[in-house]
Chain A
Amino acid sequence: MALDQNQVRDIAELARLQIDETQLDDYQKNLSNILDLVDQLAAADTANVEPLAHPLDAVQRLRADQVSESNQREHFQQIAPATSEGYYLVPRVVE
């Protein structure tokens, strides 16, 4: 399936990826080729076939709802780009 450049821009926006305008052609071509490859799936007869999510069809294990870990906020925030008073700093979201 061929994508047009506006679709490529929309997908990039959806995925929160800045794409250089000069690279749009490349992305358009390569993504279209990849979608052509996966479009072969359409020909497969999958009527009444149960989708396979886990190769061993395992189900989610549950555990008791008990505290098992200690708070390591300071340890983990050491590698954050910007923090203040235990919070992660980002540009202002609410005016």
Chain B
Amino acid sequence: MYNKTIADIARDLNAGEYSSVELTQSLLDRVEQLDSTYNSFITVTKEQALAQAKAADERRAAGNAELWTGIPIAHKDIFCTNGVLTSCGSKMLSNFVAPYDATVIDKFNQAGAVSLGKLNMDEFAMGSSNESSFYGAVANPWNTDCVPGGSSGGSAAAVAARLVPGATATDTGGSIRQPAAFCGLTGLKPTYGRISRWGMVAFASSLDQAGSMTRSAEDAALMLQVMAGFDAKDSTCVDQPVPDYSATLEQDLTGLTIGLPKEYFRDDLSADMQQQVRNAIAEYEKLGAKVKEISLPNTHLAIPAYYIVAPAECSANLSRMDGVRFGYRCDDPQDINDLYKRSRGEGFGNEVKRRIMVGAYALSAGFYDAYYKKAQQVRRLIKNDFVEAFKEVDIIMSPTTPSPAFKRGEKTSDPVAMYLEDIFTIALNLAGLPGMSIPCGQVNNLPVGLQLIGNYFDEARLLNAAHKFQQATDWHQQAPADIA
């Protein structure tokens, strides 16, 4: 049962092949047996999952089942879940039992999905390797010495290890697409504002976006259908109609124009990586697409702009973690300043502290124009590059990452080396565009991701292009050797 996709499970439950309780129990058993190796779960909500599954089976027996009724998934531990620990991978929130549900959680509950629990992540979603979690590093199921990517490393490892068919995730600079690439999965980061951020612990509010980690584009369409839509509780959520994402999956790709940005196919990208991505592009040409070289001339400014905007917003957002109203408080504070400083000093890990400090510095008196304002101006240049490109092409493709998954410990001592991991993913967040990563090959027995970049609110086209590729190839069906 564990190899089934969300779409398979929906059909099987309808056909009575097994019940939601049977499936949920078998996945919970699997988590118990295998997750000590991967460390993908922070919290397993066994009793709640079985209760949800039982209710789903009853609903089905009464003839009231809908598509998602009884389908098990799990959630990144960044989404607030009422009555359940919501740690965000941090000691700071290691005692934070959320008093309400995030909109994304609420929507899955309303749809009838079963939640198996909460998934590991880099602390406050800051990282590209899932090594900064207070709950320990996550192992990549393809090679347990390698990182699964980050920050949604737990979501990726759990789906790749077939512990769950799908998981929620979030992406601020590549945190869905990079782990999807490293773990051979289909990751979707929708347009900024497509999904409500309400109840999603904020890192960089103008970049953060929820999305999904699945084993097929068909499943990504099903997850987006649940999550997308306007929410008055998120002031940046965009009020746009939500199309039927499954309805257009099968559309023919004849005449689709694919743009290949020359800045993303640099000489220092290894020949192996180039080859895998070029093979995928050739497959698209067989499917009727046309290919055109384009230029995104401000690409080199994306990482510098991001490392002002994201830390600046994180330093403001994380000021709420002060040891007063919720979360970690230091022992025996001497005065209010000592309470703030030690609660935050002890509660946050090094990477989070570094980013808060960069942000505090960039926003401090006298530096605002040189850093934050400048970064926001560069951000517009980056957006304008994409706007120009989409006048000529329908979709943009590139590698998702410069290399396959790297070894644990390889980049932890050099934050800047870790930042450069996100070189192909980060510009999308700055521009607010939707992107996907789909598996398109392997190098050294590790998966390689193809990044698909769409125009604003063009998720349906991304899903269509990804689905057609997955019908023509079987990279998305490859599983880690220990799993299959």
Contacts and interface: CB of A to CB of B under 8 A. Distances in A.
Interface of A: 8, 11-20, 23, 26-27, 30-31, 33-42, 44, 46, 49-56, 58, 60-61, 63, 72, 75-76, 78-82, 88, 90-93
B415 A34 contact: yes
B124 to A, nearest CB: 14
A15 B378 contact: no
Contacts of A15: 315, 344, 353, 356-357, 359-360
B301 interface: yes
A41 B305 CA distance: 7
Nearest to A92: B335
Given A14-B360, A41-B375, A91-B336, A34 B380 contact: no
A46 B373 CA distance: 10
Contact of A31 (B304, B308, B354): B354
Nearest to B456: A56
Interface string B327-353: 101000111111111101110101001
A31 B357 contact: yes
Given A18-B342, A33-B415, A52 B308 contact: no
Contacts of B383: 52, 55
A18 B343 CA distance: 8
Nearest to A33: B416
A35 B433 CA distance: 27
Given A16-B344, A18-B344, A51-B376, 5 more contacts: A17-B341, A41-B301, A41-B371, A54-B192, A58-B193
Contact of B300 (A35, A40, A75, A93): A40
Nearest to A68: B232
A40 B420 CA distance: 14
Contacts of A35: 358, 361
Given A19-B353, A33-B415, A51-B380, A58 B236 contact: yes
A63 B329 CA distance: 36
Nearest to B420: A37
Interface string B238-253: 1000000000000000
B182 to A, nearest CB: 23
A80 B337 contact: no
Interface stretch (B27-35, B50-58, B126-134, B317-325): B317-325
Given A49-B380, A79-B326, A58 B360 contact: no
B235 A61 contact: yes
Contacts, number: 176
Interface string B293-307: 000001011011101
Contacts of A14: 360-361, 364
Contacts of A63: 232
Instruction: Kindly state the interface size class of chain B when it binds its partner.
Output: 35 or more
B325 A88 contact: yes
B97 interface: yes
Given A15-B360, A40-B304, A52 B380 contact: yes
B171 to A, nearest CB: 13
Contact of A27 (B335, B357, B379): B357
A3 to B, nearest CB: 8
Contact of B193 (A49, A56, A88): A56
A44 B374 contact: yes
A7 B288 CA distance: 58
B381 interface: yes
Q: Which 9 residue pairs spanning A and B have beta carbons closest together?
A: A55-B432, A18-B345, A51-B376, A46-B377, A81-B329, A52-B380, A15-B360, A16-B340, A18-B341
A61 B231 CA distance: 12
Contacts of B374: 41-42, 44, 46
B324 A81 contact: yes
Contacts of B430: 55
B94 to A, nearest CB: 12
Contacts of A33: 414-416
20 contacts: A14-B361, A17-B353, A18-B346, A23-B350, A31-B354, A31-B358, A31-B361, A34-B354, A34-B419, A37-B303, A38-B307, A41-B305, A49-B378, A49-B381, A52-B383, A55-B431, A56-B191, A79-B99, A80-B326, A91-B338
B287 to A, nearest CB: 30
Most buried by B among A80, A81, A91: A81
A20 to B, nearest CB: 8
A49 B305 CA distance: 14
B96 interface: yes
Contacts of B353: 15, 17, 19, 27
Nearest to A30: B415
Most buried by A among B334, B348, B432: B432
Contact of B358 (A34, A78, A80, A91): A34
B206 interface: yes
A16 B235 contact: no
